[in-house]
Amino acid sequence: MKKIITALLITVMISALLISCAGGSKDDTSAPSGTTPSAAQNENTGKEQITENKGNTDPSHTHKYGEWKDAGEGSCTTGAARERVCSECAAKETVYAEPAGHKMKDNVCAVCGAKASEGLEMEPWGDEYHVKGVGECRDRDIIIPDKHDGKPVTAIDEKAFYNNTDITSVTLPEGITEIGGYAFTGCKSLRRISFPDSLTDIDGNAFYMCLNLYTVTLPKNLQRISQKAFLACYKLVEVKNLSSLTLKYGSSDNGHVAYYAENIITEGDLHVYGTNGGYYYYDNGEKTLLLSYTGTDTELVLPADFNGHKYDLASASFSENRTIKSVEIREGTADIRPQSFYNCTSLATIKLPSTLKHVDNDAFRGCTAISSVIYNGAKDAWEKVDIDSGNDPMWDREITYNG
């Protein structure tokens, strides 16, 4: 079983994407009919950690950082900050711990004063209300009210947010006990959802195809996760389990919640980080994955590392990104996972590393604009690369060799 990593006092993240010092798989092999992976929106709010680094831009310069010092208290949406400074060039690194999250009471956060989302469609249910749909609400960060017309809100109804591709986060208040079937199916931009301790049931397919849901924390009173609740959540790499449910890596039990997991923890901080460059990573100190890119650059040279660690591409990492036109994958990459560039319809040039050994199913399916495939190695080495089905551009385009 994989080693459980206990986080330090704060989560430290040093981004190689910003100004820096010098330096298979359990996944399903094809997307279900009518549904395809999607890139997340470009926001760096909430639990994802953000690193800021300013100073000497000379790549030959090696920073000499001092000790970490407190640099600001956290809020509901931004974790407490600490920073350290290079003694030679005054470069500053700032890291943010996991935020506390909203504590809703009477539809207002008791900590920061944030108000619950308005315009949601509510359905009376005896002396309670259920959230029936998004209604007229246009918030991307949804805060479910704990009361409506003076009565408690206790459930998210079936298909309430079905195929809503706008929302990026959801806060569920205390009092919510059930999430209905298909409630968040196809919410492709959803990266973060906070479950209250009152939650007991997650119904079937509730989060099916939430392709950018990176982590979840299962609350202590959760009793049931029905079939396929988290199926096709390809990037759900880490689960914090506070419940009595027994989770096993790669298991379809408990709604596939741990099927794609790289890490299952019972305490400490989660290990997903966002950077100002638009990249999201999972990094637990032993394994590092590039989860997605949410920036706007069209020509990408992927970073050489993250936090000093070499990384692999996660499944569906760039899927349905319609803006990137060229991408150069870092040397050292051996495997391109399923659907990594699925339906990137503007992608015209792909530069592959000489270290490549395997291109998984559908990694480049739907990349109809690819006209140039450049391999940073010799022809005889390319012929040994194992290329699975659904990767036509790797077969019917002329390859340029640099070896």
Look at residue 396 and tell me whether its pLDDT is greater than 90.
no
Query: In the prediction, which pLDDT does 51 show?
Result: 45
Phi, psi of 251 (to 5 degrees): -95, 145
Instruction: Give pLDDT, residue 75.
Output: 74
What pLDDT band is residue 89 in, cutting at 50, 70 and 90?
confident
The pTM of the full predicted model, rounded to 2 decimals, is: 0.77
Min mean pLDDT across 53-57, 107-111, 356-360 is at 53-57
- For residue 295, the 8-state DSSP code is S
Please tell me the predicted confidence (pLDDT) of residue 79: 60
Burial (CB < 10 A; 0-12, 13-18, 19+), residue 6, is exposed
- What's the pLDDT tens digit per position in 354-378? 999 999 999 999 999 999 999 999 9
Q: Is the pLDDT of residue 257 over 90?
A: yes
Phi, psi (deg, nearest 5) at residue 370: -60, 120
Tell me what pLDDT residue 103 has.
Answer: 79
Strand ranges (E), 41-175 = 52-54, 69-72, 81-85, 92-96, 104-105, 108-109, 121-125, 128-133, 141-143, 147-148, 151-156, 169-171
State the pLDDT confidence band at 20, using cuts at 50, 70 and 90.
very low
Lookup result for tokens 């809020």: 75
Domain limits, CATH 3.80.10.10, in the chain? 52-98+270-401, 101-268
Q: Which of 52, 48, 47, 11 is nearest to 280 (CA)?
A: 48
What pLDDT is stored for residue 21 in this prediction? 38
Band (pLDDT 50/70/90 cuts) for residue 274 is confident
The residue that leads in pLDDT, 225 or 20, is 225
The residue-averaged pLDDT of 40-65 equals 47
Q: What does the CA dihedral 261, 263, 269, 271 come to, rounded to 10 degrees? A: -70
- Average pLDDT score over the chain: 82
Question: For the segment 214-249, what is each residue's pLDDT rounded down to a tens digit?
Answer: 999 999 999 999 999 999 999 999 999 999 999 999
* Higher-pLDDT residue of 11, 198: 198
Q: Which pLDDT band holds residue 113 (cuts at 50, 70, 90)?
A: confident
* Distance separating alpha carbons of residues 242 and 58, to the nearest angstrom: 46
- Six token digits for residue 41: 């929106």
Give me the pLDDT at residue 11, please.
37
Q: CA–CA separation, 238 vs 247, rounded Å?
A: 12
For 300, residues 6+ apart whose C-beta sits below 8 A from its C-beta are 293, 324, 326, 327, 328
Identity of the residue numbered 133: G
What residues pair up with 125 in beta bridges, in sequence order? Answer: 128
pLDDT score, position 68? 60
Residues 316-337: tens digit of each pLDDT? 999 989 999 999 999 999 999 9
| Cα distances (angstroms) measured from residue 253 to each of 226, 240, 247, 311 | 8, 16, 8, 29
Residue 66, pLDDT above cutoff 60? yes
The token duo for 317 is 């990492």
Please say whether the dihedral angle defined by the alpha carbons of residues 328, 91, 280 and 269, taken in this order, is positive or negative: positive
> What pLDDT, on the 0 to 100 scale, is given for residue 69?
76
Class of domain 101-268: alpha beta
**What mean pLDDT is predicted for residues 267-292?**
85
Q: Average of pLDDT values for 167-190?
A: 95
Tokens of 264: 């299952």
Q: Residues 52-98+270-401: name the CATH superfamily.
A: Ribonuclease Inhibitor (3.80.10.10)
The residue ranges of DSSP E strands in 157-298, in sequence order, are: 169-171, 178-179, 192-194, 201-202, 215-218, 224-225, 238-241, 263-265, 272-274, 279-283, 288-293
Residue 118 pLDDT greater than 70, yes or no: yes
**CA angle 52–47–100, rounded 5-degree value:** 115
Please report the pLDDT score of residue 85 as a whole number.
Answer: 82
Q: What is the pLDDT of residue 193?
A: 92
Output DSSP code: residue 310: -
> 336 is written with which tokens?
């391109």
The answer, yes or no, to whether residue 397 has pLDDT greater than 80, is yes
pLDDT band at 100 (very low <50, low <70, confident <90, very high): low
